[in-house]
Amino acid sequence: MILANCLFRSGGCAILLTNKRSLRHRCIFKLKTLVRTHHGGKDESYGCCIQKEDEQGRLGFHLAKNLPKAATRAFVDNLREISPKILPVRELVRFVAVYSMRKLKGLRGKPPVINFKTGVEHFCIHTGGKAVIDGIGASLELSEHDLEPARMTLHRWGNTSASSLWYVLGYMEAKRRLKRGDRVLMISFGAGFKCNSCVWEVMRESGSGSGCGATVWDDCIQSYPPNSLANPFMAKYGWINNEDPATFVLPE
């Protein structure tokens, strides 16, 4: 059990959506597809990440040890559903052929991975922590360039839960990475347990100096990425991790 304000920072976002064709020329992004995976029907998934009171009646956030397992299950199910909607047929055929061949030959080791870069150019990853970013990056075989927006968002704004996706997208806009016709894959996680993903198509370039509005990064984007992502507080207070837990028990 931990206090919610020790896990999440204060953050929020707002977007304006429309289905009016007359406003198409003003849109920056177009929603191509969206997939929502919710495992609330499974007890272990529902209870792995939930706000509740402890034995002493203190309200806090409970993270169970099976959280990574529940997150992985939701992530895999979500990708299985969205992949046919966003990837070219040739990539799906290649993956099935390689997977079937390895299974027939009884080969072991690292399983084949679908190349999502054949269907999208950019990745907006939920910044739930360094482990989350590293895990998704390893699963999708993403480069450090792909993961940079998520890492910088975590460094600058912290874990703002699902709203972090728009901070990540804002970083891409401020860095002028998004070009017309590019596709952006968003992946987020949340209590429930759920995994949501969607793909946006860039309708026109945006960011500083483009005439498409400012971003939350405008006042600091020139200093990113920094030379080091080391946490300065770890150097000063990291010793606490090596202390005997009994040291912090208050006498009755």
- pLDDT digit string (tens) for 145-202? 999 999 999 999 888 888 899 999 999 999 999 999 999 999 999 888 999 999 999 9
| pLDDT of 211 higher than 60 | no
| pLDDT of 239 higher than 70 | yes
pLDDT at residue 209, rounded to an integer: 45
Report strand pairing: 49-53 vs 194-202.
unpaired
pLDDT at residue 4, rounded to an integer: 61
More confident residue, 30 or 162: 30
Report strand pairing: 29-38 vs 194-202.
antiparallel
| pLDDT of 213 higher than 60 | no
pLDDT at residue 225, rounded to an integer: 92
Residue 126 annotated to the active site: yes
pLDDT at residue 251, rounded to an integer: 62
3-state secondary structure 59-114: EEEEECCCHHHHHHHHHHHHHHHHHHHHCCHHHHHHHHHHHHHHHHHCCCCCCCCC
Q: Which of 62, 66, 115, 159 is catalytic?
A: 159
Span 87-114, mean pLDDT?
86
Structure letter (DSSP) for residue 174: H
Residue 62 annotated to the active site: no
Q: Which of 38, 62, 66, 115 is catalytic?
A: 38
Instruction: Using alpha carbons, list the distances in angstroms from residue 221 to 36, 215, 229.
Output: 32, 10, 15
Q: Residue for token digits 């706000």? A: 51
Q: Is residue 3 very low, low, confident or very high in pLDDT (cuts 50, 70, 90)?
A: low
How many angstroms separate the CA atoms of 239 and 217, rounded? Answer: 33
Q: Are 197 and 134 in contact (CB under 8 A)?
A: no
What's the pTM? 0.84
Q: Which of 155, 196, 227, 242 is catalytic?
A: 155
pLDDT at residue 80, rounded to an integer: 93
Among the listed ranges 79-83, 114-118, 126-130, 227-231, which one has the minimum average pLDDT value? 227-231
Residue 39 annotated to the active site: no
Measured between alpha carbons, how far apart are the two ends of the chain, in Å?
21
Residue 155 annotated to the active site: yes
Residue 122 annotated to the active site: yes
Q: Is residue 32 very low, low, confident or very high in pLDDT (cuts 50, 70, 90)?
A: very high
Tens-digit pLDDT profile for residues 44-97? 999 988 888 888 888 888 888 888 899 999 999 999 999 999 999 999 999 999
